[in-house]
Amino acid sequence: MTEMDGGGLPVLERYRAVRARSLLLAAPLSIEDCSAQSMPDASPVKWHLAHTTWFFETFVLERFEPGFAPFHPAFRVLFNSYYNGIGERHPRAQRGLLTRPALGEVHAYRCDVDTRVARLLAGAEIATAPALADLVELGLQHEQQHQELMLTDVLHLLGQSPLLPAYHDGARAPQADGGALDWMDFEGGLAVIGHHGATFCFDNELPRHRQFVEPFALSTRLVNNGEYLAFIEAGGYQDASLWLAEGWDAVRTQRLAHPLYWRHDAQHNGHNGHNGHNGHDGGGGGGWREFTLHGEHKLDLAAPVTHLSLYEAAACAAWMGARLPTEAQWELAAQSAHAGALRQMSGACWQWTSSSYAPYPGYGSAPGALGEYNGKFMLNQYVLRGSSHATPPGHARASYRNFFPAGARWQFTGLRLAR
């Protein structure tokens, strides 16, 4: 068996490692935790575990396994996400109503498909079966995307509980950075944007192309909680002049006043009961607390602000005399010789850009159902760059194009300034 893209591991070893990590992420959760759906945009962990298995059954086993038969015929509909070319789908907003199959049967489904994929890979010479290798790698990258979604969806689910339970005491936290927010200048010019090399990428990262970029500057780190708190205390959520029109509508209709998981607790205002930076809860935050994967804690002023919509990110940037970067500026900076001086480019939180999610010049989606993976979503969404602390190790790269609607807040989304 030859090696394939994915950290240099043999394909079967990599398959087992990625699949095992999904189960590890689900391990701290109860059966009830795995079955509930907190909102239409989120999915139950049980569904994530089943859907990623459905992907390998549908796109790998159905094509390559001799005498293929589905584990359960109904799963083709229940765990199809958005592939119209495959057929009917269970409504996304009703995934939390799927009490059957039980979690135990979903685990049996994973075990069955894993055994069959392992048998297929063990008997294949990957060098002579590039289509098989490519599909397995796409399935693993797809599962890694769902691993991050599992964490973001679980955080939203647990955040609905008055108990504010921790997902895991040892959950990773965003990288704090108490250093000064400085600026790095870039000359701009004709940049080459998009993935290059023989390693894996999604089709939306291609083709590599030229794009002219005017001179610009980026902040050397992400905007942190302390700076965002200053924006709040200065009346940022009451100043319509800072907001995009749709953003201001969201502020008024949704009564937005702070990032998604922040809560002000008067009992933690400090000795004198002040709400500002000087009256704080033993180290900062002015009585503000934040719910995270490791429970609710006093606000860490040095940690990057997260769970912002594009509207909130753009308004805070305007208040700070800056704006959001374009995705071309972000990628040019990430690939520059001076990129090392830019902190928190990956591993902290996804960074909103001002770029609409659109195809690169010359983009073409793959034929068949797999062509629906990215291309059909290139409308009414914005690009985010970098990665978050919930992104699986090795999954991020400079050309990666994440994308969400402008109002999305439940993901680990933050803010880097440009000017």
**Secondary structure class of 408 (helix, strand, coil):** coil
- What is the per-residue pLDDT for 238? 98
Closest C-alpha among 313, 299, 331, 319 to residue 416: 313
Residue 87 reports pLDDT greater than 90: yes
**Between residues 306 and 125, which one has the greater pLDDT?**
306
Global pTM value: 0.93
Q: Which two tokens stand for residue 32?
A: 């009830």
**Strand partners for 186:** 216
- What is the per-residue pLDDT for 388? 97
- Please, what sign has the CA dihedral across residues 199, 25, 123, 373? negative
Residue 169: DSSP 8-state: T
Q: What share of the chain is helix, strand, coil (3-state, %, to 5)?
A: 40, 15, 50
- What is the per-residue pLDDT for 126? 64
**Mean predicted confidence (pLDDT) in 374-397:** 96
Residue boundaries of the structural domains of the chain: 11-158, 172-419
- What is the per-residue pLDDT for 386? 98
pLDDT interval class at 4 (50, 70, 90):
very low
Overall fold of domain 172-419 = paralog of FGE (formylglycine-generating enzyme) (3.90.1580)
CA–CA separation, 149 vs 52, rounded Å? 12
- What is the per-residue pLDDT for 94? 98
**Mean predicted confidence (pLDDT) in 92-112:** 98
Residue 281 reports pLDDT greater than 70: no
- What is the per-residue pLDDT for 1? 33
415 and 198 Cβ atoms separated by less than 8 Å: no
Residue 296 reports pLDDT greater than 70: yes
- What is the per-residue pLDDT for 173? 77
pLDDT interval class at 231 (50, 70, 90):
very high
Q: How many residues does the chain have?
A: 419
pLDDT interval class at 128 (50, 70, 90):
low
Tens of pLDDT, residue by residue over 234-256, are 999 999 999 999 999 999 999 99
Tens of pLDDT, residue by residue over 51-78, are 999 999 999 999 999 999 999 999 999 9
Q: What is the mean pLDDT of the chain?
A: 93
pLDDT interval class at 284 (50, 70, 90):
low
**Mean predicted confidence (pLDDT) in 139-168:** 97
Residue 272 reports pLDDT greater than 60: no
pLDDT interval class at 5 (50, 70, 90):
very low
- What is the per-residue pLDDT for 127? 57
Measured distance between the N- and C-terminal CA atoms of the chain, rounded to whole angstroms: 50
- What is the per-residue pLDDT for 338? 84
Residue 265 reports pLDDT greater than 90: no
- What is the per-residue pLDDT for 282? 38
- What is the per-residue pLDDT for 267? 65
Residue 164 reports pLDDT greater than 50: yes
Could you tell me which residues come within 8 angstroms of residue 182 by beta carbon, excluding any fewer than 6 positions away? 219, 220
